Amino acid sequence: MAAKTKQSASLDRKKLMADPIMVTTIVVLITLLTLFILYPLAILLVDSFVGDGSFSLSVFQRIFQISSFKRAITNTLKVGFVVGILSSLIGLLFAYVEVYVRMPKFTGGLFKVVSMLPVVSPPFVLSLSMIMLFGKAGIITRFLLHIYDNSVYGYWGIVIVQTLTFFPVCYMMLKGLLKNIDPSLEEAARDMGAGRLKVFTSVTLPLMLPGLGNAFLVTFIESIADFANPMIIGGSYDTLATTIYLQITGAYDKPGAAAMAVVLLCITLLMFAVQKYYLEAKTAATLTGKASRARMMIEDKSVRVPLTVLCTLVAVFVIMMYICVPIGACFPTWGYKFFPLTGKWFTQVFTRYKGFKAFKDSFMLSLIAAPITALLSMIISYLVVKRNFKGKGFIEAVSMLAMAVPGTVLGVGYIRGFSGGLFHTGILQGLYGTGAILIIVFIVRSLPTGTRSGISALRQIDKSIEESAYDMGADSFKVFMTVTLPLIKDSFLSGLVTAFVRSITAISAIILLVTPSYLLITVQINEFAEKGAYSLACAFATILILITYGAVLLMNLFMKYFGTSRKMKED
């Protein structure tokens, strides 16, 4: 057995070496991943542990004496924990209603849309509308309820906004798991005498527990990595991401920021490791089965009515938040004069605030980054799923690692790693401050999601299909372009659009690296929101929302007419 594996390994190696394109690709990939993901993180460690040429903990000693930093750690963990729990619960509610409960078509569709809305929306949007609806001068708090001293800034503001932003992620994860529960398990429980509630607590919930833990940790990581929302609605309630940003832009303390970034990175990496290696395996172990037959949807009023009321409340809230943004962009003078609605802010975006340049820059950079990201993630997933070679583990681990790295940490890493050239030697220094480095950050930030969906798409393709192409004389490049890629066209396309949307809405890493020669929409929104120019921020945000939804719509249309997968699945 051992001899056989050894033999097949050496055979794999020989096959690989006979394929120069493959070898080149692998070498280039490893170089890129090392340079743009590992190196910036490594330099953070080096910077924070090495002072004056020797190993020391002095930087850490210094930052742990800053009380605002210690407070930021507690704040971040507290927010992350609560947001994780609330998002998982709301996600579970929406997923359960969709998979288990018979709903009128309209209501069901509405809930589905509401739970998907935040997925493609830019950051800040919810923070902006939260301030405009419930803040001191909020439309609801001040002008409807006549409360004059309501503050949304701080802990609760962040918690509410982040929960609404991240619960869709939980919803999608949990929906997939709930669909995989075999309905006959619940039927078995029922005919042995368990009522609906008992079935839920004794069968459905225990089966979902690892999945819920998984959803919790994923949102926890998202929450502590989030920069945009705490920035706008946090007020004086600082989280790690905002503290690091301020340490650089306010205190000009780059080594200190690097050390803080290391602390943040350690927290997310730990969570990520637990999620990836412990919970994901557990989820897979309890839910291996496929549903054997369609589920009988619950029609009991005692279940439907309360769940519908709960979902409707959340839905109304979410919809209100989203409607607030375009309307907020039309108020003549925010907080003072609301009518008649005007289009002047949209005009001013372009006439006074260089809107054209902002949209052009954001659009161009994202448009360049998206196809590169999509192609890279397909190549990586192809190598990981279909090929065997030394360094495969490295490629997979590093591209997944990027998922656990908060944008702010990456931003600081790039500042430390590239502003003075590689290892502060001046090599590659020209990269810093260019559009290229922004594009690279866009790519690195979107690579993990693309790679993950690529891997799952490729796992469904039988190896023998490609092997038969090799047999007929195609080399690996030709096989990838003519066989593999067409088969995962849909996945590639959605990877492309996801990368575009993620790039054009990115802020956390970018805000640390952008130079005045580039104007980015998200940075503009942040600036105007900071200044309190909410109508302008809303105008920018509205156009950004239109762009992202337009991109998603375009993708869906394109897939409908040119997609192959659907037809193949039906066969």
Partner 1 sequence: MSNKVLIKDAVKKYGNFTALNGVSLDIAEGEFFTLLGPSGCGKTTLLRMIAGFNSIEGGEFYFGDKLINKVPAHKRDIGMVFQNYAIFPHLTVEDNVAYGLKARKVPKADIDRRVKDSLELVQIAHLAKRKPNELSGGQQQRVALARAFVIEPSVLLMDEPLSNLDAKLRVQMRSVIKKLQRRLGITTIYVTHDQEEALAISDRIAVMKDGHIMQVGTPNEIYAKPQNPFVAGFIGVSNFLDCEIDSAGITSIKDELKIKVPLRRAYSGKAKLSARPEQLFFSREGMPGEILFSTFLGDFIEYEVKLNDGQELIINEYTKDTTEVHADGEKVHISFDPNRISLYTADTEEVLSC
How far apart are the C-alpha atoms of 409 and 509, rounded to whole Å? 7
Report, in Å, the least distance between residue 290 CB and partner 1: 9
∠ CA 99-103-106, rounded to 5°: 115
* CA 293 to the chain's CA centroid: 33
Q: How far is the CB of 184 from partner 1 (least distance, A)?
A: 4
CB of 193 to partner 1, least distance (A): 4
Question: Which value, to the nearest 10 degrees, does the dihedral of the CA atoms of residues 398, 400, 406, 408 take?
Answer: 40
Of 159, 96, 160, 125, give the one whose Cα is nearest residue 311: 96
- Of 155 and 278, nearer to partner 1 (C-beta) is 278
Residue number with CB closer to partner 1 (266 or 296) = 296
**Please, what is the minimum distance in Å from the beta carbon of residue 182 to partner 1?**
6
Nearer to partner 1, 190 or 276 (CB): 190
With CA atoms as reference, report the closest residue to 276 among 432, 133, 401.
Answer: 401
Nearest to 442 by CA among 506, 396, 397, 492: 506
207 vs 330, which CB is nearer to partner 1? Answer: 207
- Cα 228–525–404 angle (5° rounding)? 25
Q: Least distance (Å) from partner 1 to the CB of residue 105? A: 15
The residue among 198 and 459 lying less far from partner 1, judged by its C-beta, is: 198
CA distance 135 to 130: 7
Shortest separation between residue 205's beta carbon and partner 1, angstroms: 10
CB of 271 to partner 1, least distance (A): 24
Q: Which residues bind partner 1 (CB under 8 A)?
A: 182, 184-185, 187-195, 198-199, 202-203, 206-207, 285-289, 292, 296
In terms of C-beta density within 10 A (0-12 exposed, 13-18 middle, 19 or more buried), how is residue 76 classed? buried
Cα torsion 20, 26, 29, 33: sign: negative
Residue 446 contacts by C-beta under 8 Å, 6 or more apart in sequence?
369, 370, 373, 377, 498, 499, 502, 503
The backbone torsions φ and ψ at residue 475, rounded to the nearest 5 degrees and listed phi first, read -85, 175
CB of 185 to partner 1, least distance (A): 5
Cβ of residue 299: shortest distance to partner 1, in angstroms? 8
Shortest distance, CB of residue 206 to partner 1, whole angstroms? 5
**Contact between 111 and 96 (Cβ < 8 Å):** no
By beta-carbon proximity to partner 1, the closer residue of 186 and 490 is 186
Q: Tell me if residue 57 falls in helix, strand or coil.
A: coil
Using the minimum distance from each CB to partner 1, give the nearer residue, 189 or 240.
189
In whole angstroms, what is the distance from residue 283 CA to residue 216 CA? 13
Specify the residue, 193 or 250, whose C-beta has the smaller distance to partner 1. Answer: 193
Contact 486, 509 (CB under 8 A): no
- By beta-carbon proximity to partner 1, the closer residue of 189 and 511 is 189
At which residue do the structure tokens 């190549």 appear?
Answer: 379
Q: Which is nearer to partner 1, 242 or 283 (CB)?
A: 283
**Min CB(570)–partner 1 separation in Å:** 21
Q: 188 or 465: whose CB is closer to partner 1?
A: 188
Closest to partner 1 by CB, 122 vs 210, is 210
Residue 541 CB, nearest distance to partner 1 (Å)?
Answer: 45
The rounded distance, in Å, linking the Cα atoms of 445 and 448 is: 7
Q: How far is CA 253 from the centre of its chain?
A: 28
What is the C-alpha to C-alpha distance for residues 59 and 61, in angstroms, rounded to an integer? 5
Q: What SS3 string covers 226-286?
A: CCHHHHHHCCCCCCHHHHHHHHHHCCCCHHHHHHHHHHHHHHHHHHHHHHHHHHHHHHHHH
